[in-house]
Amino acid sequence: MARPLRPLVLASASPQRRALLRQLGVPFRIVPSEVSEASDERDPRRLVLDLALRKAEAVARRRPNTLVLGADTVVACAGEILQKPSDPADARRILRRLNGRWHRV
């Protein structure tokens, strides 16, 4: 008889990632990583991989023998990585900057 699957551990408090895993029917638990997102990396692809790995490793150290999913999202526009908004006014400023312009998520 097969053992029941242990829930995946999501190293993020992101509502979007929770919704995606629920939609896929994946059992999971949330354990936020609480790692600093500060980085000198200027390449968006490298940055997002580095952040996801750091988050997963931080949670895996606290939860050995557990499958941990680390993920992150980075937005880049005109060669610049945009930071997460600090408040609603900052979010509006960022959205105005992105409006009508090519950007990568």
- Pick the catalytic residue from 43, 50, 72, 87: 72
Q: Among 45, 73, 75, 71, which Cα is nearest to 59's?
A: 71
Provide φ and ψ at 8, rounded to 5°. Answer: -65, 150
Q: Among 84, 80, 62, 90, which Cα is nearest to 72's?
A: 84
Neighbouring C-alpha atoms within 13 Å toward the C-beta of 94: 16
Q: Residue 27 and residue 25: Cα distance in Å, rounded?
A: 6
At 3 the three-state DSSP class reads coil
Active site annotation includes 50: no
Q: Which residues are known catalytic residues?
A: 72
